[in-house]
Amino acid sequence: MSQQQGKTQAAEPRSGTPNSDAAKSGTPKSWIPKSVAPRFGRIDADLADVESAIARSREFLLSEQHPDGYWCGELEGDSMLEADYIYLHTQLESGDPGRLRRALTEMLRYQNEDGSWSLYPGGPGNVSLSVKCYFSAKLMGIGAEDPRLVKCREWVLEHGGVVACNTFTKMYLCGLGQYDYDAVPAIPPEIVLFPKWFYFNIYEISSWSRSILVPLAIIYAKKPFKKIPPEHSIDELFVGGRANAELRLRLDRKKIVSWRNVFLILDRILHFAEAVHLRPLRTLALARAETWILERLEMTDGLGAIYPAMLNAIIALRCLGYSEDDPQVIRARDEFEKLGIEEPASAGLPEPTFRMQPAVSPVWDTAQAVYALGEAGVPRNDPRMIKAVDWMLSKEVRHKGDWAVKAPRTEPGGWYFEYNNEFYPDTDDTAQVLLALNKVDNPREGYQHKVAQRAIAWEFAMQCKNGGWGSFDKDNTKMIFQYIPFADHNAMLDPPTVDITGRILEMLATYGYTRQDKRVEKAVKFIFSRQEPDGSWFGRWGVNYIYGTFLVLRGLDAIGIDHLEPQIQQAAEWIRMVQNPDGGWGETCGSYDDPDTRGVGPSTPSQTAWALLGLLAAGDDRSDSIAKGVRWLLSRQDAGGGWDERIGTGVTRQALYTGTGFPRVFYLAYEMYRHYFPLLALTSYKRAMERAG
């Protein structure tokens, strides 16, 4: 079926029987509520069944709480994580051999039939990821004539070979002699010397790019090289052979005068200066970059608390001469290894495996869980809720980080995503924590109020000029940075987005703010200015238009926008139009590459919940779409109270990705999304039904 056909079918949802839907999902028939059977074209759920599902979901979610009070589900990414893990330990001649073999087993599980590896389940092959996986397999001793590598090699050569990879992949290949440092875009460490008022200073790029690129600049300057056995080489992945490969990026001849060409010419000049050792500030730059990294290793779970920055920091420290047993290296490596998960052999997994997470999400998961549980009726003074809130309060940021460059006169406040990441609080986590705090009556009421007011003040200080909010920085919007040669990871900037802005509006309304506040009104106007012609909104941090649209509608509803406004009804109609025939909603990561496929994908619990929450926020509580969506969730809840969001069987079983790291580059599966969002959706539906009588 073509994607367009899928959209046409989704526009006309068909009623199905609960039993047939359950059979497709594997849901035990005993859990199919009798009252969701079709009745003369409408499929309404009895409130008793909804309440029963809410109760089971609530108890399941509470059972997942850590004894210390927080929640933290696994954060799953693509096979790049295991491939880079193998690369790191090969580069540094370190690592546990057994764990490396298990990482290889995990990586090979997800090779596609055509030989490639994909950025998300069911997605097309990706050349950078496939080259990394191929190389890692060879580093682990798999021969080039192994059928799995033969298929991968054929696919890679058909898609441009190694030269088609992104800059980060090429930089890693350089370290093991598989690419030329002179052929990768220059990342000079001198960039850290630019003053903060200078147009091209490092605080004008996104926080994650900053934490990735500063250590990578050290690596570029030091140019580490480890010789590997000839049988581990990947010369065969160069179209026409490595000797004949054109490695350098070419100027755009169709548009001679362009920022891309300016930066490419500058890149060649920088490479020439490298070759003739014309770098008078190099020693100072390396010292400044080293200090920058060491400062940001304090009060964090590794540099930036994200996988690529942590990996680069380890290599950078070793390049700077830090020994393997130096406390800084030991700590950096320990934090990196904590991202790993060992999986024992099981019925569906004949061999034990080891996989890496790109980060951990305890603050995010805890805030979402507490909010959903509070909405679902868990008492405001429940000890488990108070314990969770106290844990979140202990994670409040009290030191100035990189964000303070753009908001220097603002008192620290807010929250980050991970266990510890003091330099990088973000506006999205902060808004969600504030929503969660409002659901609990804490005995330390005065202290909690003070913390909340401090966080709200910080949120307002982070508002961008156009009225929206970015995630980690304010007004991080200089589009020129997209043309820098090493910017091909598609995430150089952190501009304001409607999904975060929608959540912040919901939070502000919860704390009594209205459209009478000019800052709120400016945010509303920003959101309306970004609506797509079909009524949807883009989702930067979740997949994709379903995510953006649901958060915007909740924010606008909370702040008092009338449901009858044309923009609201157009958005609601878009959600109804993309409903799947089975009654659920889904959207794949492919909509970032092709917006025409927005709203197209297999139904998932998290995205179905988002769609229902969006419709309810738009005032729709009686349509067939709502009824069928609720039925979809009820019929797919398992006996334990949770939902499943995985596809495949046995060794290839994998979670569908509904989270976004970098659009078009890296996606995520949040383990807890499939649990707390359906709970919130069912609770919101129940309340709407009760209000309607």
- Residues 6 or more apart whose CB falls under 8 angstroms from that of 378 comprise 58, 62, 384, 385
Contact status, residue 349 vs residue 249, Cβ threshold 8 Å: no
Q: What is the mean pLDDT of residues 1-25?
A: 34
Q: What is the pLDDT of residues 459-475, one digit of tens each?
A: 999 999 999 999 999 99
Q: Give 253's pLDDT tier (boundaries 50, 70, 90).
A: low
Contact status, residue 665 vs residue 490, Cβ threshold 8 Å: yes
Q: Dihedral sign for Cα 280, 284, 288, 290, please.
A: positive
Q: For 166-308, list the strands marked E by DSSP.
A: none
Cα–Cα distance measured from residue 421 to residue 296, given in angstroms and rounded to the nearest whole number:
9
> Domain spans of the chain?
1-63+544-693, 79-342
Tally of CA atoms within 13 A in the half-sphere of 39 that contains its CB: 10
Cα–Cα distance measured from residue 474 to residue 479, given in angstroms and rounded to the nearest whole number:
14
Q: What is the pLDDT of residues 608-644, one digit of tens each?
A: 999 999 999 999 998 999 999 999 999 999 999 999 9
Residue 560 tokens, joined: 């008092």
Q: What is the reported pTM?
A: 0.92
Q: Which of 20-34, 200-214, 378-392 has the lowest mean pLDDT?
A: 20-34
Q: Burial code of 602-617, b = ≥16 C-beta within 10 A, e = fewer? A: bbbbbbbbbbbbbbbb
Contact status, residue 423 vs residue 296, Cβ threshold 8 Å: yes
- Within its chain, how far is the Cα of 664 from the centroid? 11
Q: Burial code of 11-47, b = ≥16 C-beta within 10 A, e = fewer? A: eebeebebeebbeebebeeebbbebbeeeeeebbbee
Q: Which of 228-237, 263-272, 534-543, 575-584 has the lowest mean pLDDT?
A: 263-272
Instruction: Name the H helices within 243-397.
Output: 259-275, 282-296, 307-319, 327-337, 362-375, 383-393
Is 196 strand, coil or helix?
A: coil
Cα–Cα distance measured from residue 170 to residue 180, given in angstroms and rounded to the nearest whole number:
8
Q: What is the mean pLDDT of residues 169-198?
A: 94
Any catalytic annotation for residue 428? Answer: yes
Cα–Cα distance measured from residue 504 to residue 561, given in angstroms and rounded to the nearest whole number:
15
Q: What is the mean pLDDT of residues 352-371?
A: 97
- Residues 6 or more apart whose CB falls under 8 angstroms from that of 14 comprise 581
Class of domain 79-342: mainly alpha
Cα angle vertex 104, ends 101, 110, to 5°?
150
3-state secondary structure 361-410: CHHHHHHHHHHHHHHCCCCCCCHHHHHHHHHHHCCCCCCCCHHHHCCCCC
- Residues 6 or more apart whose CB falls under 8 angstroms from that of 118 comprise 78, 110, 112, 124, 125, 126, 129
Cα–Cα distance measured from residue 382 to residue 324, given in angstroms and rounded to the nearest whole number:
48
Q: Give 268's pLDDT tier (boundaries 50, 70, 90).
A: confident
Q: What is the DSSP letter of 488?
A: T
Q: Give 687's pLDDT tier (boundaries 50, 70, 90).
A: very high
Tell me what percent of the residues of the chain surpass a pLDDT of 70: 92
CATH number for region 1-63+544-693: 1.50.10.20
67: pLDDT strictly greater than 90: yes
Cα–Cα distance measured from residue 257 to residue 35, given in angstroms and rounded to the nearest whole number:
66
Cα–Cα distance measured from residue 241 to residue 617, given in angstroms and rounded to the nearest whole number:
58
Q: What is the pLDDT of residues 424-480, one digit of tens each?
A: 999 999 999 999 999 999 999 999 999 999 999 999 999 999 999 999 999 999 989
- Residues 6 or more apart whose CB falls under 8 angstroms from that of 557 comprise 563, 617, 618, 619
31: pLDDT strictly greater than 60: no
269: pLDDT strictly greater than 90: no
Is 514 strand, coil or helix?
A: coil
Is 690 strand, coil or helix?
A: helix
Residue 70 tokens, joined: 């927080």
Q: Which of 428, 429, 557, 620 is catalytic?
A: 428
pLDDT for the residue 252: 63
Q: Which of 220-229, 338-347, 499-508 has the lowest mean pLDDT?
A: 338-347
Q: Which of 320-329, 570-579, 645-654, 670-679 has the lowest mean pLDDT?
A: 645-654
Q: What is the DSSP letter of 301?
A: S
pLDDT for the residue 199: 87
**400 phi-psi bin (left φ>0, alpha ψ -120 to 50, beta other):** beta
Cα–Cα distance measured from residue 112 to residue 355, given in angstroms and rounded to the nearest whole number:
18
Q: Which of 110-119, 315-324, 481-490 has the lowest mean pLDDT?
A: 481-490
Q: What is the mean pLDDT of residues 102-119?
A: 96
Arithmetic mean of pLDDT over the chain? 91
Q: Dihedral sign for Cα 603, 608, 614, 617, please.
A: positive
Q: Tell the burial category of 74 from Cβ atoms under 10 Å away from its Cβ (0-12, 13-18, 19+).
A: middle
Residue 469, beta-bridge partner list: 497
CA dihedral 385, 389, 394, 397 (to 10 degrees): 150
Residue 229 tokens, joined: 């056995």
3-state secondary structure 564-618: CCHHHHHHHHHHHHCCCCCCCCCCCHHHHCCHHHCCCCCCCHHHHHHHHHHHHHC
12: pLDDT strictly greater than 70: no
105: pLDDT strictly greater than 50: yes
Cα–Cα distance measured from residue 279 to residue 285, given in angstroms and rounded to the nearest whole number:
10
- Residues 6 or more apart whose CB falls under 8 angstroms from that of 285 comprise 188, 189, 190, 191, 192, 193, 221
22: pLDDT strictly greater than 70: no
